[in-house]
Amino acid sequence: MRDSRNESRKHLSAFIPPLIVRIMCKYLRILPHVLGAGIIAITPSAVLCAAGTNLGAYDITTARQVEVADVKARLDLDSYGGSRSIKGRATGWFSLQQIKDRWWLVTPDGNSMISLGVTHILAACALPLFDAAYHRDFTAFTRDAAENLRRWGFNSAGYGGVNKQNRQAMLNEMPAVVSLELLEISRYSKNPERIDLFDGTVRRDLARSIAEYVEPVKGLKNLIGYMYVDLPQWWNLELRRKGNDWPFAYRRLAAGAPGKIRYVDFLLERRKTVAAVNEAYGTIVADRAGLLAERAWANLRPDDQSVMDDDRAFVAVLVREYYKFCHDEIRKLDPQHLIFGDRYASVDLGLEDVIKEAVPYIDGVAIQPIPIKGMAARFDKAAFDRIAELTGKPILICDFAVNFATPQFPSGMWGSWPTEDAAADLWAHYLDDAFAQPNMVGIHRCEYIDLPVAMPQGNVLKQGLVQQDGRPYVRTVQRYAGIHKKLYERIYGVETEGEK
């Protein structure tokens, strides 16, 4: 178990020299793998270049020339994208308010809004396009991206719209969320870190990391709020079988470690006596000091139901500590902006345990729907009803997409529908069903620019709205503009003329 998180930050800067990027793409056939916050790690098997892409030919003008429906034509919107037809309470910052029979994001000016966003926008900064077409000019890129997204009916940027190299980025152009990548505990982490959440040095490091994210953005009106880690794994049976879950890590701590003290006292609170702990855990110790000194736990039976019950309850203690600490540190620096917490997979084992502990320390819940058998499907009303029942909080779908097959990539992340129109049809149905829920305040689509990735099931495409040469998927953005126009007009109470 590491007491310092710095060792796990073996990531390269997103600003790899463009010549090196080109050489890697041409000769090594790899590309930076973009993680949630825009930080990248280079591995030979991580990402493939788009086959057939001409690295010398880029076109970022077509996106502005595609004819799309005028999304705003019949809407009375404020500068943030909020509808003046549904008034909330102006707080000077983005807030969540229940108005009549549903939850809304409310803009700093007091107007109601649903957030249609796009995630991973800064992934493009690791692609040759960023150098060749935008000359590595962040302002030129983010301004162009925001202009395109607004024309296509998006009003905000999801996570991955800022990073450590540019703390404000998309926030300078449109409302956005900021992701605080605090722990390496995502399901995508090959070596999930286990930190002692009760250790003073670790807590100071964590507080410093929070401040590095919050300080540059806390005064920005375009900031919607904060999220944490992507698809965290607090309770995972596969990791448990490998002896790499949270309770195993705390059992292995030294006697004087604050986390070990908290764990042993937790066991004694539940089991009442050292003898009862010995019986359940196979230890042979005489007293509390003996439990603190125990590091091997050689006779432990991790599949024993009573031990599993103890461990799940201890994970709940850790989760509560983590959320309270993060909440309190953010609030010291920024009393205003929203906190959504970690981004949960809708099918996570133990999700309910985690969510319950998080509820007092978050303003809304961020959920990523997991495709059924690898294929994005219709809105799962039952699952989201359960989340609403557990939390009583408004919900933001923080990462989701409906994609289509291309000649180069018949298989894509989120699955691939046969045509652009088929994918757009499902996107429209999903939005309609999701926003029929009175607690749904936003949906953020996965990816702005194509990112081909090597996955265990083969080479797949994290499909964006724009191809790697800068050209948009024309039919998709045309359909999206029409779909979003229709949605806004319906939800904001404007009589519709039908999708164009």
Maximum C-alpha span of the chain: 78
Convert 452-500 into a string of H (helix), E (strand) and C (coil): EEEECCEEEEECCCECCCCCECHHHHHHHHHHHHHHHHHHCCCCCCCCC
Cα 489 from chain centre = 28
Buried b (16+ CB within 10 A) or exposed e, 359-386: eebbbbbbbbbbbeeeebeebbeeebee
- What DSSP designation does 198 have? T
* 427: nearest Cα among 152, 170, 176, 173: 152
As a whole number of angstroms, the distance between CA 169 and CA 138 comes to: 7
* Strand, coil or helix: 34: strand
Torsion over CA: 251, 256, 258, 261 (sign) = positive
How is residue 42 written in tokens?
């280079």
As a whole number of angstroms, the distance between CA 460 and CA 185 comes to: 24
Asked if 461 contacts 123 with a C-beta cutoff of 8 angstroms, the reply is no
How is residue 413 written in tokens?
């992340």
* Strand, coil or helix: 252: coil
Q: In what order do the strands lie in the sheet with 102-106?
A: 83-87, 111-113, 102-106, 95-99
Encode the chain (500 residues) as per-residue pLDDT tens digits: 544 343 333 332 333 344 433 434 433 333 333 333 333 332 333 333 443 444 458 999 999 999 999 999 999 999 999 999 999 999 999 999 999 899 999 999 999 999 999 999 999 898 999 999 999 999 999 999 999 999 999 999 999 998 877 888 899 999 999 999 899 888 888 788 899 999 999 999 999 999 999 999 999 999 999 999 998 888 887 888 888 899 999 999 999 999 999 999 999 999 999 999 999 999 999 999 999 999 999 999 999 999 999 999 999 999 999 999 999 999 999 999 999 999 988 765 456 777 889 999 999 999 999 877 666 678 989 889 988 998 999 999 999 999 999 988 887 888 888 999 999 999 999 999 999 999 999 999 999 999 988 776 667 889 999 999 999 999 999 999 999 999 999 999 986 444 44
Say what the pLDDT of residue 374 is. Answer: 62
Half-sphere exposure of 237 (CA within 13 A, CB side): 8
How is residue 9 written in tokens?
């930050």
Say what the pLDDT of residue 350 is. Answer: 56
Q: Which residues pair with 274 in a beta bridge?
A: none
- Directed axis angle between helix 274-281 and helix 258-271, to 10°? 100
As a whole number of angstroms, the distance between CA 334 and CA 211 comes to: 10
How is residue 445 written in tokens?
């689509």
* 464: nearest Cα among 46, 113, 145: 145
Give the type of residue at 335. P
Say what the pLDDT of residue 43 is. Answer: 32
How is residue 481 written in tokens?
């503009």
Asked if 260 contacts 247 with a C-beta cutoff of 8 angstroms, the reply is no
Say what the pLDDT of residue 299 is. Answer: 94
- Residue 278: CB partners within 8 Å, gap ≥ 6? 284, 285
Say what the pLDDT of residue 371 is. Answer: 75
Asked if 236 contacts 247 with a C-beta cutoff of 8 angstroms, the reply is no
Say what the pLDDT of residue 373 is. Answer: 65
How is residue 259 written in tokens?
């986390």
Delineate the domains of the chain, giving CATH numbers in brackets: 57-195+218-236+335-491 (3.20.20.80)
E strands, 114-208, are 115-118, 156-157, 176-179
Say what the pLDDT of residue 416 is. Answer: 85
Say what the pLDDT of residue 348 is. Answer: 58
As a whole number of angstroms, the distance between CA 380 and CA 383 comes to: 6
E strands, 275-429, are 338-345, 365-368, 395-400, 403-404, 416-417
As a whole number of angstroms, the distance between CA 464 and CA 473 comes to: 9
- Residue 329: CB partners within 8 Å, gap ≥ 6? 206, 207, 210, 211
